[in-house]
Chains A and B, each alone.
Chain A
Amino acid sequence: DAGVIQSPRHEVTEMGQEVTLRCKPISGHDYLFWYRQTMMRGLELLIYFNNNVPIDDSGMPEDRFSAKMPNASFSTLKIQPSEPRDSAVYFCASSPQGLAYEQYFGPGTRLTVT
């Protein structure tokens, strides 16, 4: 079975540009999570969905960040406008049962904002 799929794997963009990260969860998993990982702040949960509905977005750092899940097999994380401090690795993860259980992480998208 395919794992969590993320695209692109690497993204380099200039400050002020819009960035869209994409995720396809494992089929049958009802929960989808977006994380950001940096050296300074570690791994942070940004937002998570249950059955395509956003449950908790308290980790989203600013209004420049938004996430959608239009259907069970696709989610996007958008940053508009992007800033150099947004440079990080963004992981998507999915789970059949939620935060209190095992999560399966995608390979991540390394974002560099210059």
Chain B
Amino acid sequence: QKEVEQNSGPLSVPEGAIASLNCTYSDRVSQSFFWYRQYSGKSPELIMSIYSNGDKEDGRFTAQLNKASQYVSLLIRDSQPSDSATYLCAVNRYTIKAAGNKLTFGGGTRVLVKP
């Protein structure tokens, strides 16, 4: 089982619709959760971070965290063609090593917003 799993997609959504992306993780001690957007040929950029159970909204983006079920999701409302990109889920978990923390990225979900 991968530490952080995402459906690779592509997730095709019509313009104006809601895109729903899911991410599951295996380690229950995970503490911090991130969604990064990566356009083709570009570097990842953070769009959302969430640390506690529930919903967090920022503009058209909503992150949802459920630690009991070990999943985090991202909703993109009113999807635009400019939202077409790969969305990476990242999970930070504590380890007993001296380093203390470990950050693992999922494989990403490719989203295509069709006009």
Which residues in B have some Cβ–Cβ distance to A below 8 Å?
31-32, 34, 42-46, 49, 88, 92, 97-99, 101-108
Contacts and interface: CB of A to CB of B under 8 A. Distances in A.
A28 to B, nearest CB: 17
A91 B46 CA distance: 14
A106 B99 contact: no
A43 B97 CA distance: 22
Q: Give the interface size bracket for A toward B.
A: 10 to 19
B44 A43 contact: yes
Interface in A39-86: 42-45, 55-56, 58
B38 to A, nearest CB: 8
Interface of A: 42-45, 55-56, 58, 91, 98-103, 105-108
Interface of B is mostly: strand
A76 B32 CA distance: 28
Contacts, number: 47
A55 B107 CA distance: 25
A8 to B, nearest CB: 15
B44 A105 contact: yes
A101 B107 CA distance: 20
Contacts of A100: 31-32, 92, 101
Shortest Cβ-Cβ A-B pairs, 7 listed: A56-B99, A105-B43, A99-B101, A43-B105, A100-B32, A42-B107, A99-B103
Nearest to B94: A100
Contact of B102 (A43, A99, A101, A102): A99
